[in-house]
Amino acid sequence: MENQSETILVVEDDRNILDAIERKLTKEGFKVIKAMNGKEALEKFYAHQPNLVLLDLMLPLVDGKEILKEIRSQYDTPIIVVTAREEEVDRILGLELGADDYITKPFSLPELVARVRAVLRRTYGMKKTVGERRLVCDDIALDLRGHELRVNNRSYLLPKKQFELLRILMSRAGEVLTREYLLNEIWGADYYGDKRTLDVHIKWLRDKIEPNPNEPKYILTVRGVGYKFNGDVRKE
């Protein structure tokens, strides 16, 4: 995601609406990934790790509600739901589905952009860190205030859990951190989901920071135990 702040996955089965949203968001400076059905939406979510998902609930192949539930069961990526039914709003935003916001059809494109920017600000812009502002190792710099990761000339806006995982690893560089510790710290002690979600997040981080993700230099696996960050990290 070189020199690109936010990637948005837009899931909409109406080609005209999808193309209009893509043109508007691209004009506003976002990178847009498109999907027209539920199966494609999940594939592209896992492949591209978007910063936000704009999700129409009425989709072919896999229902939008099922997509929302699957993403929310493992990830905290912000999701804005598009619905034509006002009566669904309480369920969409409540505990049952847990979307971050909603917009009802028909909607204006400026209103949609405003909702997207507001959710991104709430998700990535609220956390402030007193004291150190960055963790730096070689060409890797993690901004503790804005969740931004810079590697050489590339810039990534990290979702919350990727940010927390890399922050913990870098702040305790050289220490072997167990899988149980990392899962508890990031997903919580009451997390009973797929334990492999940690490995998936490690892979996503390696894809960003490693010169060769298949032969990691920085995020090392300690077989049977967990992971450690290898490198001299300084705080700025």
Q: How confident is the model at residue 87 (pLDDT cuts 50, 70, 90)?
A: low
Q: pTM, whole model, 2 decimals? A: 0.61
Query: What local confidence, expressed as pLDDT, does residue 95 receive?
Result: 42
Q: What is the pLDDT of residues 19-33, one digit of tens each?
A: 999 999 999 999 999
Phi, psi of 88 (to 5 degrees): -85, -10
Question: 228 falls in which pLDDT band (50, 70, 90)?
Answer: very high
Spell out the domains of the chain, with CATH numbers in brackets.
7-124 (3.40.50.2300), 134-235 (1.10.10.10)
What is the pLDDT at residue 86? 65
Are 77 and 150 in contact by the 8 Å Cβ rule? The answer is no
Task: Give me the residues paired with residue 178 across strands.
Answer: 226
Residue 133: pLDDT over 70? yes
Task: Give yes or no for residue 8 having a pLDDT over 80.
Answer: yes
143-169 pLDDT, tens digit each:
887 788 999 988 888 888 899 999 999
Bridging pattern class, strands 134-137 and 7-11 = unpaired
Residues 8/54, Cβ–Cβ less than 8 Å: yes
Specify the higher pLDDT residue, 109 or 92. 109
CA separation, residue 75 to residues 72, 177, 194, 200 (Å):
5, 21, 11, 11
| Complete DSSP assignment for 136-147 | EETTEEEETTT-
Confidence of residue 225 (pLDDT cuts 50, 70, 90): very high
Q: DSSP per residue over the chain, as a string?
A: -TT---EEEEE-S-HHHHHHHHHHHHHTT-EEEEESSHHHHHHHHHHH--SEEEEES--SSS-HHHHHHHHHHH----EEEEES-GGGHHHHHSTTT--SEEEESS--HHHHHHHHHHHHHHHHSS---SS--EEEETTEEEETTT-EEEETTEEEE--HHHHHHHHHHHHTTT--EEHHHHHHHHH-TT--S-TTHHHHHHHHHHHHH-SSTTS-SSEEEETTTEEEE-S--EE-
Question: If pLDDT is split at 50, 70 and 90, which confidence band does 193 have?
Answer: low
